[in-house]
Structure 1
């Protein structure tokens, strides 16, 4: 932990996949439906979880290649991405659910007067229906998807945009996420960063990340902050 607690902040930004919601079952199901359409065998959930965290395009590339950074044949990728997006849009919230402590944590932060935002690399066409279906949409004053701005996490732009929106300094904002992407974005923006251990950090332990705290839940995170407004 690199900062004194409780942190004096004015706004809390929360990541979606792996932080707010366990979306892996629906992401995996869409991937395996895509593979079935392509005549390929399914990929186990344990492997698919390590592919989540950099948006749908990168997820599809990893599923096609079995590699975290490799590039598939462009024509195959374009076809596969369309298949994936169709399947995921139809089943975006079949099995996705909030993690334990999420709703309670958001309620506590809202009651304490923090500005709340959701920033995700997921495309808006999936983000909004998913938040609405899981009844989390109403908690957030600002929702930034992966295609809302020109750049997404780990670029600091979405966090700096949130700071401008709430008219606060970067050090007055806390990001709660689950991955290296979140940690890099927060540090680049000059914001505070907590991570949860239950998410999708490409299969790596979050204890390795440069963060202010690893918190077991959003409810526990709410106990480490106070409103500086």
Structure 2
């Protein structure tokens, strides 16, 4: 793994990296589609839709069941209500996450969480899973003009952290994270247990892959 030895900080993704939130997404979409009298979207399909923000998830779910795209605004409003109500209930922190975050902090790295999930939902989820204390900075998909895979969220977060992109490690689970990191000039390591839109994660251009966040700082 070709990660620089003089890292200053780490930016960590949320869904699929820190917390398995697929159950939350499925529960929220089930409630939305029931409210709109639409067919439910199977879990296997939802897994391929997550990672690009709530807008993409909702539009993809509507398209999957052949719904009129004009339902989007109603679906969006319903999703905000239902997701807020269940946020974290069907989610679990991945094994090794707390150990990995402890190691990163112990190595003196400043940490930030950057996700395409709305910031308020991200903060609530981190708090619910007792992870908020690791992240003085949390930026969601509504924090900047562009979302990952655009580099803007990473570059703005590096500025907020006071770290150089080349010395700021991106930890994620998908091609979105890797593409944002490459464009921003950050080294990137991906976990092998996340979502990645249903595609093999090891096919993504990254500097390394780990089966657990606890392994990130191990020599390779």
TM range (shorter): over 0.9
* Matched residue, 1:26: 24
1:74 CA drift (Å): 4.6
**Closer/same/farther in 2, CA of residues 92 and 182 from structure 1, 3 Å limit:** same
Tell me the distance in 1 between the aligned counterparts of 2:98 and 2:4: 21
1:222 CA drift (Å): 2.7
* Matched residue, 2:45: 47
Tell me the distance in 1 between the aligned counterparts of 2:158 and 2:124: 25
Tell me the distance in 2 between the aligned counterparts of 1:114 and 1:73: 47
Tell me the distance in 1 between the aligned counterparts of 2:163 and 2:172: 20
Question: What does 1:144-159 align with in structure 2 at a 5 Å threshold?
Answer: 144-159=139-154
Question: What does 1:68-147 align with in structure 2 at a 5 Å threshold?
Answer: 73-147=68-142
Q: Secondary structure at the match of 1:171?
A: helix
1:170 CA drift (Å): 1.1
Q: Secondary structure at the match of 1:118?
A: strand
| Contact 1:6-1:224 within 8 A present in 2 as well | no
Matched, 1:203 2:198: yes
* Matched residue, 2:12: 14
Matched, 1:61 2:56: no
Of 179, 183, 203 in structure 1, the residue corresponding to residue 178 of structure 2 is 183
State the TM-score, normalizing by the size of structure 2. 0.95
| Contact 2:4-2:167 within 8 A present in 1 as well | no
Tell me the distance in 2 between the aligned counterparts of 1:43 and 1:165: 38
Tell me the distance in 2 between the aligned counterparts of 1:166 and 1:88: 30
1:41 CA drift (Å): 2.1
| Contact 2:148-2:177 within 8 A present in 1 as well | yes
1:198 CA drift (Å): 1.0
- The superposition leaves residues 192-214 of structure 1 with CA deviations (integer Å, 9 ceiling, x where unpaired) of 00001111111001111110001
Tell me the distance in 2 between the aligned counterparts of 1:56 and 1:166: 26
| Aligned-CA RMSD value | 1.7
Q: Secondary structure at the match of 1:85?
A: helix
Deviates more, 1:11-20 or 1:39-48: 39-48
| Contact 2:62-2:69 within 8 A present in 1 as well | no
Unaligned 5+ runs, structure 1: none
